[in-house]
Chains A and B, each alone.
Chain A
Amino acid sequence: MTRAADALLLVALSATILLALLAGGPALTAADAARVLRGEGTEEAAVVVFHLRLPRLLLALAVGAALAMAGAALQSLLANPLADPFLLGISGGGAASATMAFAFLPMASLGLVPAAAIAGSAVATALVWWMASGPLGPSPTRMILAGVAVNAAASAVILVVLAATPSPRLPGALAVTMGSFAGATPGAVLWLLPYLVPPVAVLFHYGRDLGLLATGEESAATLGVDVGVVRRRVFLAAAALSGGAVAFAGIIGFVGLITPHLCRLVWGHSLRRLLPRAALAGALLCAAGDHLARVLLAPTEIPVGVITAALGVPFFVALLRRSA
């Protein structure tokens, strides 16, 4: 069963990648794009495929993988199936800061929006940690409550900022809060790497410990987990993954929450088995979602979060009802 699911996942992912490159937009026919992939097409067509579609695809894949892994890790770390980067306020903090930057920075410094998002995520992360810290260190329940509070504050900030945004910038500012891969450049993908690679290594290293933490902190401690250290490092890693994602793609809901659960239903709860599958499934969900967002009403773009939710939720409900 899990073998077949692995194969299915890989096939679906490959198909989506090919589709996104061949039929990702209005400028090229699929045949022209195919010629580029064979190394034959015109220079103009190559620009479309390699400078527009490829970075966008890579960003969608990377962000999907990052969100799904962050969600899977946070769910186990906090022993709470509802935990995800959004619930913990990390995405919200990044989006609030990005919206603020977009609304008020001089136009020439709009390149700083991702940096602002990273800073916002970092502040939100620190706030959650600080609010949750009790005499015995931050407990999972307190972290979730603190996350909910930070998230609510971030939403409020976004609303205030949108209300105060000068009207010519309003559509753009709204678009920032809605999440999209449209702004992808090769640079953005490279910038994302430091937010991706070390955190993933951390999550894999603590994969077994995270499995134990899912049965509670005391239970994990009795089995040799250095709870304080693991909690700090994994939370930081998950925050970096989420912050990087929100910086370059805005808020894309549901991926961090639903993908890990989908994968848990199919592949079980061992983090070592789960993380790579969640990463691939998250990448698939985001890439497929972005493809649909581009083609459903082409050339109009639908906010990709709408699509990922529309794709993920029914699938999730079906699996949830079927599993005991």
Chain B
Amino acid sequence: MTLLAARDATGGYRGAFSVREISLEADAGRCLAVIGPNGAGKSTLLRVLAGILPISAGTVLLAGRPLERWRRREVARQVTLVPQSVSFAFPLPVQEVVAQGRAPHLGPWRPPTARDHAAVQRAMAAVGLEEKAHVSVFHLSGGERQRVILARALAAEPRILLLDEPAAALDLLHQETLAWAVRQRLKEGVGVVVVAHDLNLALALADEVLVLQQGRVVARGEPGAVISPELLREVFKVEAEFIPRPDGSCVILPPLR
């Protein structure tokens, strides 16, 4: 079932960083990975899909209705963007940040109920932050902060999760935790769009891959078919090494030597 769809959508910041004529579908229980070199417009695309950046042509449909005809809060109840980082002005405890994820459901006045509290607890558990519940975000490492932001998004219990470089600051163990948490949501029927630099993460999670270059889609399809040495040469301008694994998939090594 298609939850969120872009039809020839053009939008983004005025001037630099915009995406053009994008068409895609985010389906329930499926993961779409967006890859591409720096500056291709991947983060911009996520923000256009979340309705945070304006659309100048084409349309983005949420449950079949154009985004601009939804109220901001109604969009936020269904679509949650997880930005790469959030700057905290005040030393909020982790639990309070995660609880902010419930805001779209509460509106300005409704007090949180047991159900809201349960969602917050579940989200913290999913990323392994229960023990840090009362620690100030100022005292967390970069990776821990990234998990806090992910937990906040999970607490919102959206139908569509837009992840912007979710693994950028995570160590190996927590990359595994992340992958596990995302798979759990996929099983629950959540649609996921993930922007990833780490092609291995894209290969591991994605059902479909979208390749962006200079704001346009240049390739789209099954990860195994799309992510090829030729594509990397053409789009990323690198000669990467593809190491086959016993199960038929492969691991990509960047040419660092």
Contacts and interface: CB of A to CB of B under 8 A. Distances in A.
Interface of A: 75-76, 79-81, 135-136, 205-209, 211-212, 214-216, 218-219, 221-226, 264, 268-270, 324
A51 to B, nearest CB: 40
15 contacts: A75-B90, A81-B90, A136-B14, A209-B108, A214-B90, A214-B92, A215-B87, A215-B89, A222-B83, A223-B76, A223-B103, A226-B72, A268-B96, A269-B96, A270-B96
Contacts of B136: 324
Nearest to A226: B72
Interface in B57-92: 71-77, 80-83, 86-92
Contacts of B90: 75-76, 81, 214, 264, 269
B114 to A, nearest CB: 19
Contacts of A207: 108
A115 B3 CA distance: 55
* Interface residue SS majority, chain A: loop
B118 interface: no
Nearest to A223: B103
B83 A219 contact: yes
B128 interface: no
Contacts of A222: 50, 52, 76, 80-83, 153
Contacts of B109: 205
A83 B86 CA distance: 19
Contacts of A209: 103, 108
B76 A224 contact: yes
B13 interface: yes
Interface in B91-111: 91-93, 96-97, 100-101, 103-104, 106-109
B187 interface: no
A20 to B, nearest CB: 33
Contacts of B93: 268
A136 B107 CA distance: 25
A215 B50 contact: no
B31 interface: no
B96 A216 contact: no
Contact of B100 (A75, A206, A223, A324): A223
Given A80-B89, A224-B72, A324-B139, A211 B14 contact: no
A216 B14 contact: no
A212 B20 CA distance: 31
B156 interface: yes
Contacts of A223: 76, 80, 100-101, 103-104, 152, 156
A267 to B, nearest CB: 12
Contacts of A214: 88-90, 92
Contact of A205 (B14, B15, B88, B108): B108
B87 A216 contact: yes
Contact of A218 (B80, B83, B153): B83
A75 B108 contact: no
Interface in B1-29: 13-15
B100 A212 contact: yes
A135 B14 CA distance: 8
Nearest to A209: B108
B189 to A, nearest CB: 21
Contacts of A226: 71-73
Contact of B72 (A206, A219, A225): A225
Contact of A79 (B87, B106, B139): B87
